[in-house]
């Protein structure tokens, strides 16, 4: 059983990261992963070093475990449906002489290994910072390493349980995929709100100025955010073996219980989610027609909203953008600054708001994966009486219809709530629209150059493909760099820079579009 489990896990991981992509696509993907890992590791070490410099190094173990666990929970909720449930080769795997529990374990362990990689990138640098400031004994090292390996188990299992409960509930309805998507996004939004809410502190929480008492307040917030961090903290700081083994037992035991419970309903859950429900009261009506462009756009919409993995991962940027806009409109900059605990956020926020909206929009670039998601059905698209220009236009149009209205809505909420000059209001609307156009065209170009059609799960395209990584990060950094510059520029220089960016992004979008429509897919 163990050999079969690891063999299935190996095949799945190879299918996600190795396929028929061009070699340069794999290089782009690995370079993007390496860049992100280095940035996260550097930031984690700096956080640990900062806590040590403030004589708050005792916070490092609890903080390291809590932050990795919450982020793991957040992102695993987004991908559980599509990796563990409703994946393309489900029927093929179940036809093999393999136990259902082995299939579940192999797919869960593949998610665990991906989450373990992120956990290691965060906890190893933070552990190094703790060693520099505290000089712990030799017993620290096995406790930290074993704790790091166990850390992803509970949040990964909890996220998968959430996915399983969503599927058990939605499988009774006709539009199971759509309802699954809605519930997944809703629960993910709740996790984001609670994470910020529990970590934020009001001024009333800090009654004295002594740094040690401030550390205790912050440590209490960490424990509320992730209660299991108390056990790990005691094990690291006090070498409390009872707390350490309790932490390991809870993490591993929860996984074993999950494996047993899901095995009981695994087949029925996948069957319900992957089945098509026909209407019993079908009546012949009027045949509706539309232009080829709108037909392609409508097809993209059906694929996007009909695939929970696609919707949750590519739509999460828009969800974050709307939540940010609503929070800013309801609370105002000052209260929001206290809530999310980011000092100085309210100062000069009107200058960077357009770029914050644009950056979150760029996280929802569907065009960078829309061609790849055709998969083995690409021949159908090629056989239709459509020219490539119409196909590209339809996919770009859908991304614009998805991102532009959301950006305008958020800009309107902010413009009504926060006092701004006419110039700031104008560019609050213009910049997100221009960036949405640019990232839509850029994503299309990237996906043409780095396609991935030989996938068995949407996760391989949406989360691990070269085109996905290149499209999302290119769009985000395209907005992040101007955002940082706007914090420095003042007065007329800031206005000239905004005009320059609008002209530059619009011009690049136009010339890139003229090039894209000449390419073959």
Comparing CA positions, the residue from 172, 441, 162, 432 lying closest to residue 312 is 162
How confident is the model over 97-117, as a mean pLDDT?
Answer: 79
In the chain, what is the straight-line distance between the N-terminal and C-terminal CA atoms, in Å? 42
* Helix boundaries (H) for 84-139: 90-94, 100-134
DSSP state of 96: S
Tens of pLDDT, residues 267-298:
776 666 665 545 555 565 665 667 888 888 88
pLDDT digits (tens, 9 = 90+) for 154-183: 888 887 777 767 666 666 666 656 666 666
CA distance 121 to 119: 5
Whether the CB-CB separation of 360 and 321 falls below 8 Å is answered with yes
Cα separation, 517 vs 377, in Å, equals 21
Residues 319, 185 contacting (CB under 8 angstroms) = yes
Instruction: Kindly state the percentage of the chain with pLDDT values over 70.
Output: 71
pLDDT at residue 508, rounded to an integer? 93
Contact status, residue 12 vs residue 113, Cβ threshold 8 Å: no
DSSP summary character for residue 171: T
pLDDT for 26 equals: 60
Cα(131)–Cα(140) distance, rounded to whole angstroms? 9
pLDDT band at residue 408 using 50, 70 and 90 as cut-offs: very high
pLDDT, residue 174, reads: 60
Q: Which residue's entry shows tokens 């219980």?
A: 257
Distance of CA 272 to the CA centre of its chain: 26
Residues in a beta bridge with 85: 81
Q: What pLDDT, on a 0 to 100 scale, did the predictor assign at position 202?
A: 44
Least reliable range by pLDDT among 183-187, 386-390, 466-470: 183-187
- In sequence order, what are the beta bridge partners of 380? none
Q: Convert 186-215 to b/e letters by CB count within 10 Å (16 or more is b).
A: ebbeebbeebbebbbbeeeeeeeeeeeebb
- The confidence score (pLDDT) of residue 204 equals 41
Q: Between these two residues, 107 and 132, which has the higher pLDDT value?
A: 132
Name the residue ranges covered by the structural domains of the chain. 23-274, 292-516
* Exposure of 220 in the CB half-sphere (CA atoms within 13 A): 10
Q: What is the pLDDT of residue 206?
A: 41
What is the pLDDT at residue 433?
94
How many angstroms separate the CA atoms of 415 and 426, rounded?
10
Of 84-98, 177-191, 433-447, give the lowest mean pLDDT range.
177-191
* Residue 436 phi, psi dihedral angles, 5° rounding: -65, -40
Q: Which of 202-206, 382-386, 431-435, 484-488 has the lowest mean pLDDT?
A: 202-206
pLDDT of 236 reads: 87
Burial 263-275 (b: 16+ CB within 10 A, else e): beebeebbebbbe
pLDDT of 368 > 80? The answer is yes
- pLDDT class of 396 with cuts at 50, 70, 90: very high
Q: Which residues have a Cβ under 8 Å from the Cβ of 303 and sit 6 or more positions away?
A: 310, 370, 373
Specify the pTM: 0.71
Number of H helices, E strands in the chain: 21, 0
């Amino acid at each position: 059983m163990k050999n079969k489990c690891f063999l299935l896990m190996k095949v799945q991981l190879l299918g996600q990261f190795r396929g028929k992509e061009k070699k340069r696509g794999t290089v782009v993907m690995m370079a993007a992963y390496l860049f992100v890992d280095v940035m996260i590791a550097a930031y984690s070490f700096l956080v640990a070093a900062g806590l040590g410099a403030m004589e708050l190094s005792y916070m490092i173990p609890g903080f390291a475990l809590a932050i990795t666990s919450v982020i793991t929970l957040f992102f695993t909720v987004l991908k559980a449906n599509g990796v563990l449930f409703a994946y393309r080769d489900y029927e093929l795997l179940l036809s093999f002489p393999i136990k259902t529990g082995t299939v579940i374990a192999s797919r869960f362990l593949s998610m665990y290994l991906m989450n373990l990689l992120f956990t290691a990138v965060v906890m190893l640098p933070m552990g190094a910072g703790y060693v520099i400031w505290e000089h712990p004994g030799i017993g620290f090292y096995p406790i930290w390493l074993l704790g790091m390996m166990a850390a992803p188990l509970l949040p990964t299992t909890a996220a998968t349980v959430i996915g399983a409960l969503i599927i058990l509930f939605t499988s009774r309805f006709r539009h199971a995929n759509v309802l699954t998507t809605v519930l997944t996004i809703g629960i993910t939004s709740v996790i984001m709100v609670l994470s910020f809410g529990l970590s934020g502190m009001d001024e009333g929480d800090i009654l004295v100025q002594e740094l040690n008492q401030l550390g205790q307040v912050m440590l209490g917030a960490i424990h509320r955010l992730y209660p299991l961090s108390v056990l790990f903290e005691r094990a690291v700081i006090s070498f409390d073996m009872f707390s350490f083994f309790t932490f390991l037992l809870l993490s591993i035991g929860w996984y074993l219980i999950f494996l047993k419970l899901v095995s009981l309903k695994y087949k029925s859950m996948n069957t319900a989610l992957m089945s098509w429900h026909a209407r019993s009261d079908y009546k012949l009506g009027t045949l509706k027609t539309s232009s080829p462009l709108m037909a392609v756009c409508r097809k993209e919409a059906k694929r996007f909203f009909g695939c929970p993995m696609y919707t949750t991962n590519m739509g999460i940027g828009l969800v974050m953008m709307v939540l940010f806009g609503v929070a800013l409109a309801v609370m105002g900059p000052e209260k929001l600054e206290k809530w999310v605990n980011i000092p100085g956020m309210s100062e000069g926020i009107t200058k960077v708001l357009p770029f914050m909206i644009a950056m979150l929009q760029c996280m929802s670039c569907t065009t960078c994966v829309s061609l790849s998601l055709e998969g083995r059905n690409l021949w159908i698209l090629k056989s239709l009486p459509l020219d490539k220009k119409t196909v590209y236009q339809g996919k770009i149009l859908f991304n614009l219809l998805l991102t532009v209205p959301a950006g305008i809505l958020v800009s309107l909420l902010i413009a009504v709530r926060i006092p701004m000059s006419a110039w700031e209001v104008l560019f609050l609307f213009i910049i997100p629209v221009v960036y949405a156009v640019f990232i839509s065209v850029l994503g299309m170009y990237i996906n043409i150059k780095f396609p991935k059609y030989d996938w068995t799960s949407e996760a391989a395209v949406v989360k691990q493909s070269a085109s996905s990584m290149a499209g999302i990060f290119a769009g985000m950094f395209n907005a992040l760099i101007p955002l940082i510059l706007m914090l420095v520029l003042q007065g007329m220089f800031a206005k000239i820079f905004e005009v320059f960016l609008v002209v530059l992004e619009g011009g690049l979008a136009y010339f890139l579009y003229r090039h894209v429509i000449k390419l073959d897919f």
